[in-house]
Amino acid sequence: METELLSLMKQRRSIYDLGKNVDQSQADLTSLIQDVVKEAPSAFNSQTDRIVIAYGSAHDKVWDIVLDELKKVVPAEAFEGSKQKVEQQFKSGYGTILWFTDMSKVKELEDGFPLYADNFYDWSEQHIGNSQFAVWTALAENRLGASVQHYNPLIDAQIAETFEIPKDWRLRSEMPFGSIESTADDKDYMDDEDRFKVID
Ligand SMILES: Cc1cc2nc3c(=O)[nH]c(=O)nc-3n(C[C@H](O)[C@H](O)[C@H](O)COP(=O)(O)O)c2cc1C
């Protein structure tokens, strides 16, 4: 069996020690991310995801917004820990990819295909999963680390205002990425017999 893809999948991990030691140009990274997102399958080829790629001061701003919003809800004595985590694990990276779902597209599909209406939002989430996993793996192939974060919906309003996000785009996840400053620990896997059923 060909196992090149499996090797790349194993290379992709959640990396929480990100740096800015990135050799690739922003233009090359952007074009890789865009090309990969475009190949991720979606129900009815509906392409419901929307992507913002933030570098430099925009990347910093994403994580400053996270800190501003966390400060409002995290108890004062716990905030320093949150701040360190956000600064050392996410803001330390080189860029951040924000994944949105275009809710107007989801609504259009619900209205256009009533028989499947209950499914379209779930399918948009599955599509985001495909898209994220593909980008995460493509970054790993290029020796870059990333993690997936969910500070939405806490940060939605500030992100929308700061980056002039269309009102129908719903923020679903944040992916900080950058150089891998330390690798992930070994991963645990559940028992195959509890997970798989092969029927002959
Ligand atoms: C849908 C989804 C949501 C996740 N949310 C978070 C998150 O909010 N914060 C985080 O640190 N990791 C998050 N992760 C990363 C998982 O914890 C991680 O992928 C898992 O523990 C396996 O580790 P690995 O990525 O190194 O293989 C998420 C992953 C997925 C697929």
User: For the residues of 41-86, what is the DSSP string, one character each?
Assistant: --GGG---EEEEEEEHHHHHHHHHHHHHHHHHHS-HHHHHHHHHHI
Instruction: Pull the structure tokens for residue 76.
Output: 């004062």
- State the pLDDT at residue 112: 97
Residue 120 lies in a domain: yes
Residue 80's CB is within 10 A of a number of other CB atoms, namely: 10
Q: What are phi and psi of 75, to 5 degrees?
A: -55, 140
Which residue's CA is minimally distant from atom 27 of ligand 1? 13
| Residue 171: pLDDT band with limits 50, 70, 90 | very high
Q: Which of 70, 128, 147 to mutate to test the pocket of ligand 1 (most atoms within 8 A of CB)?
A: 147
pLDDT digits (tens, 9 = 90+) for 12-59: 999 999 999 999 999 999 999 999 999 999 999 999 999 999 999 999
How many domains does the chain divide into?
1
Q: How far, in Å, CA of 37 to CA of 15, rounded? A: 20
Domain that holds residue 29: 18-181
Instruction: For the full predicted model, state whether its pTM sits above 0.95.
Output: yes
Q: How far, in Å, CA of 101 to CA of 124, rounded? A: 7
Q: CA-CA distances (angstroms) from residue 163 to 62, 87, 128?
A: 9, 20, 20
Residue 124's CB is within 10 A of a number of other CB atoms, namely: 24
pLDDT average, residue stretch 91-99? 98
**Which domain CATH number covers 126?**
3.40.109.10
pLDDT digits (tens, 9 = 90+) for 179-197: 999 999 999 999 999 999 9
Q: How far is the CA of 43 from the centre of ligand 1 (A)?
A: 23
Q: How far, in Å, CA of 128 to CA of 130, rounded? A: 5
Q: How far is the CA of 61 from the centre of ligand 1 (A)?
A: 23
Per-residue DSSP letter, 153: T
Protein residues whose CB sits closer than 6 Å to any atom of ligand 1? 13-14, 147-150, 184, 187
- The chain-wide mean pLDDT, for the chain, equals 98
Residue 188 lies in a domain: no
Residue 99 lies in a domain: yes
Q: How far, in Å, CA of 181 to CA of 7, rounded? A: 21
Q: Which atom of ligand 1 is nearest to the CA of 13?
A: 26
Q: What percent of the chain has pLDDT over 90?
A: 100
Q: How far is the CA of 129 from the centre of ligand 1 (A)?
A: 11
Which residue's CA is minimally distant from atom 17 of ligand 1? 14
Instruction: Pull the structure tokens for residue 1.
Output: 């069996």
Q: How far, in Å, CA of 66 to CA of 52, rounded? A: 16
Pairing of strands 95-102, 18-19: unpaired
Q: What percent of the chain has pLDDT over 70?
A: 100
Residue 160 lies in a domain: yes
Residue 196 lies in a domain: no
Residue 145 lies in a domain: yes
Residue 70 lies in a domain: yes
Q: Which of 125, 139, 148, 149 to mutate to test the pocket of ligand 1 (most atoms within 8 A of CB)?
A: 148
Q: How far is the CA of 132 from the centre of ligand 1 (A)?
A: 11
Residue 189 lies in a domain: no
Instruction: Pull the structure tokens for residue 155.
Output: 């940060």
Residue 40's CB is within 10 A of a number of other CB atoms, namely: 17
